[in-house]
Structure 1
Amino acid sequence: MRVRRAAAPLSALAALTLLLAGCAGSEDASGAPDDAHQESPLSKYFSAVYGGELSPEEQEERFAEEQRRTEELVAECMQAEGFEYTPATGSGGYYVSDGSEWRPDDREWVAQYGYGAVKSPFSEEPPPPEEEYLDPNAEYVASLSEPEQMAFYEALHGPMPTEEEMAEGGGEFEYDWTTAGCQGAAQHKVAGEDPSQSEEFRPLFDAINELYTDMASWPGMAELDAAWAACVDDAGHGGHADPMEAQTSIHDAMNALYEEGGMSEDGSMESGPDQVDMDALAEREIELALADLECREETDYRDRSAEITREVEEQFIEDHKAELDALVAAAEQN
């Protein structure tokens, strides 16, 4: 069976938007915005670039329109390659969350999900779709011979990476729209050039990466992390320098369990992780996450880290105002 590659990876710009969203606004128990956690200065720029200012409904509408335009271009391209292709204009179950399912500062939520690694609201059984998706090209592809099917998918998605290429990339394969067939070309034309991938803005994104890689050196952050680490150590969960490291330890442990399950030659999971081990990890995750939350509350971690972040980002914006404004302007032209 041919394994199709994903249409495209999360762009660096989208990933950065998610990172900065961690410093964005939240609500108190009454549902009112929490003034101490208003949107961070930098996240405002990237929301403007990546559409974060749109409501979930508006994002879904934009996705549907981009999907329609992309599929029309794919059909034209595939026909030029000698194949029939019916545009797949269904939503494909695209869904944008408003973030209300994710409450890492709510004790009841943490007691149920921990960090949301082993279990999370998103991994629970979703409601059945209103309408089952049917691939409009399934019947046509089935009518082709096996070599023709392989040629169809190569024209559609581009050639699959060879074993040598996967080995050179350490088991990973970097997405390149120029080698991603008709889908890649159509998506690139509709979405436009991702500013985060352009040479023009590489220095800006390098500076942002350096900024967040060096968070421990931000004024006041080392002292705050030390206070949190001492608290967690007293609670019997030592060995973590900061909250992010604690959370990462659970994800690393979960990844290790999946790797132990083994992978088949086609990259699929031969057997899932042992359920007893997963249950034990889930229990450990919740214990650590609750201790983490208790210590974040004891050290006033959210408010203090938000203030540190605000000061650092405001200085960064002052130093890179022209580049950031140019980034937003470039995104608006797409």
Structure 2
Amino acid sequence: MPHRLVTLILTLCVIAAACGDDGGDDPAADPADDTTTSTTEVEADGAEEPLPDNLADLVGPSPGLDPGAAQQWYLDREVERQEALVACMDEAGFEYVPVDPAELSESPWDADIPWESDEWVATYGFGASTLRYPSSVLGPDLVGYDDQPDDAEPHPNQVYVQGLPEDEQEAWSAARTDCDARAWQDSQSENLAAAFNERFADELAAMYDAVRDDPRYQQILEDVRACVRETGVEYVDHETTLNAIEERLAPLDPVIADGTLDEATRAELAAIQQEEIAVATAVADCDGRFLSDNPDYQALLAEHEAEFIAEHEDQLRDFLSQADA
């Protein structure tokens, strides 16, 4: 796996759990679950029910504020998509065994280490230098992403297709491509958050700007910095740290890309990785790796979200009403 792909995976994870330079959450980043408020419901006296006072309940679970709920939402949607694939392939006259969603989420790190856990931070830091290069090139003394082939048994679909005549194999693949596209389109049509983000992009950007400009937000960041400094580590913010690591890694890229590491390169990468892990561990211990872990930030964001919903109530009701139609 090229290091750019690994960086993209990590960037998406960070974006999902962070807002702006320092990790503010975007609760609108995920689709709505089955409990999303419907504006067609009314109270017994005929009045409309009040909207939720937070974006997670309005448009679905946030990976930052409730990563477990967000992950479960995706798993549930993928199960539904796989079931749709089974039905579609059956109509085309072929067998299809649904894929376990867990099998679709390969990670470049040790699968036994939970993402965002203390062990993950102690092993990979921020994932910048530690998941940039393949472990097959770095060797056992440096940390890299797993690029070794998986020895797992082939999936039943692979076995089934290999047992078909060549012309039917091509027909199966064509049917699978068509069914996959149809199932994907159906799942996207139910993605309320995508439409929400597009409709309220400017308003959401203004809200998060207001969060970052809030003196309480700046104080939260300063508290994290002060806490980290007490461990003997200098820290400004997440983006500054990653940029500094990137500047030190850039000269190493062409050397490591050749597949050979001289002692100087190996020593420099080891130092970078050691420093990254030390900073990440200190920041995590100070509730600052992702501000979603910080209770003061959670309270601040909740306040701004409630104000956002109150200020845009009419537009939100209209948006949800159209989505229900």
Name the structure 2 match of 1:46. 59
Structure of greater relative contact order (alpha carbons < 8 Å, 6+ residues apart): 2
Give the Å deviation of 1:285. 1.4
Per the alignment, residue 133 of structure 1 pairs with 155
**Matched residue, 1:184:** 181
TM-score with structure 2 length normalisation? Answer: 0.52
The one of 289, 295, 315 equivalent to 2:307 is 315
In structure 1, the residue matched to 2:277 is 286
1:58-106 Cα shifts (integer Å, max 9, x gaps): 8645532321213433565xx5xxxx7543423262579xxx93456x5
**Greater displacement, 248-257 / 132-141:** 248-257
Q: 1:41, 1:310 within 8 Å by CA — same for their partners in 2?
A: yes
| Unaligned runs of at least 5 residues, structure 1 | 1-8, 25-39, 158-180, 264-269
User: Which stretch of structure 1 is more off in the superposition, 134-143 or 216-225?
Assistant: 134-143
In the alignment, the residues of structure 1 paired with residue 163 and residue 322 of structure 2 have an alpha-carbon distance, to the nearest angstrom, of 41
Q: Is the 8 A contact 1:67 1:89 kept in 2?
A: yes
Structure 1 residue 324: deviation in Å? 4.2
Take 1:53 and 1:283, find their aligned partners in 2: how far apart are those partners? Answer: 30
Tell me the SS of whatever aligns to 1:307: helix
Q: For residues 248 and 49 of structure 1, what CA distance do their matches in structure 2 show?
A: 24
Contact 2:54 2:302 in 1 (8 A): yes
User: How far 1:311 moved relative to its partner?
Assistant: 2.0
Which residue does 1:29 correspond to in 2?
none
- Percent of aligned pairs with the same residue? 18
Q: Give the CA deviation at 1:188.
A: 0.9
Tell me whether 1:305 sits opposite 2:320 in the alignment. no
Shift, 1:314, TM fit: 1.8
Partner Cα separation in structure 2 for residue 304 and residue 140 of structure 1: 59
Q: Tell me, yes or no, if the aligned pair for 2:211 and 2:217 is still in contact at 8 Å.
A: yes
Pairwise CA RMSD of aligned residues?
A: 5.6
Q: Deviations over 1:34-61 (max 9, x none)?
A: xxxxxx9323333269998869778645
Alpha carbons of 1:220 and 1:203: their partners in 2 closer, same or farther (altered >3 Å)?
A: same
Question: 2:79 aligned with 1:64, yes or no?
Answer: yes
Contact 2:89/2:175 (8 A) holds in 1: no
SS at match of 1:101: coil
> For residue 87 of structure 2, what is the amino acid of its counterpart?
E
> Kindly tell me: are residues 190 and 311 of structure 1, through their superposed partners in 2, closer, same or farther at Cα, counting changes over 3 Å?
closer
Q: 1:19 to 1:216 in 2, by over 3 A?
A: closer
Taking the aligned partners of 2:165 and 2:245, their CA distance within structure 1 comes to 40
Amino acid at match of 2:162: E
Partner of 2:98: 89
Which secondary structure state, in structure 2, belongs to the residue aligned with residue 90 of structure 1? coil
SS in structure 2 of the partner of residue 220 of structure 1: helix
Aligned length: 257
Cα gap change, 1:58/1:233 in structure 2, threshold over 3 Å: closer, same or farther? Answer: closer
* Higher share in helix: 2
How is 1:55-204 mapped onto 2 (pairs within 5 angstroms)? 60=75, 63-73=78-88, 76=91, 86-91=95-100, 93-94=103-104, 101-103=114-116, 110-116=121-127, 118=130, 132-134=154-156, 135=158, 138-139=161-162, 143=166, 157=177, 182-198=179-195, 202-204=198-200
Return the alpha-carbon distance in structure 2 between the equivalents of residues 43 and 272 of structure 1.
48
Q: Quick one: structure 1 residues 272 and 54, their matched pair in 2 at CA, closer, same or farther if it must change by over 3 Å?
A: farther
Q: Partners of 2:186 and 2:251 in 1: how far apart?
A: 40
SS in structure 1 of the partner of residue 60 of structure 2: helix
* Structure 2: runs of 5+ lacking an equivalent: 1-7, 27-52, 107-112, 132-144
1:218 aligned partner: 214
Paired with 1:194 and 1:153, the residues of 2 have a C-alpha distance of: 27
Aligned to 1:245: 239
Which amino acid in 1 is paired with 2:186? Answer: K
Q: TM-score, normalised by structure 1?
A: 0.51
